[in-house]
Amino acid sequence: MQHLIISGNGDGVVTRSNQRSLPAAVKDEISSGWKAGESLSEIGRGIGKIPAVVYNVLLSHGGITPRVRRRSRRPSSPASAPAPFLTP
C-alpha cells in the first residue's frame, strides 16, 4: 500500500512523495518507548503519528509478539475428509 504525502512550503507549491517507511530514528524511538512500557497512544503522540502506525512498526519489527498459530479444525486434504453424503 502506498501513502501519498502532500505538503506545501508556503509559496503555493505543493509537492507529493510516496513515503514507504519511517526514518530509523523514529523507529528507534518507537522501540525504546515500547520497551519502556509506554502505550501505543503515548508513543504516537511523541512522534506525531496515530497509534496504528506505531502498532504496524512494532508488529513488523518484532516488538509485538504474533498470535500463537493453531491448526485448522478442518481436514488438510480431501483424502482425510469424510465421504460426502450422497442420496440416491
Rounded CA separation 46/26 (Å)? 10
Q: Tell me: the pLDDT tens digits for 60-77? A: 877 876 677 787 777 667
Rounded CA separation 30/33 (Å)? 5
Q: What's the angle, vertex CA 86, arms to CA 83 and CA 88, rounded to 5?
A: 150
Rounded CA separation 54/51 (Å)? 5
pLDDT of residue 2: 47
User: Other CB atoms closer than 10 Å to residue 56's CB: what's the count?
Assistant: 13
pLDDT of residue 37: 94
Rounded CA separation 36/22 (Å)? 20
pLDDT of residue 36: 93
- Written as tens digits, the pLDDT of the chain (88 aa) is 445 555 555 666 555 555 567 888 898 899 899 999 999 999 999 999 999 999 999 988 778 766 777 877 776 676 666 666 666 6
The pTM of this model reads 0.53
- Identify the DSSP state of 33: H
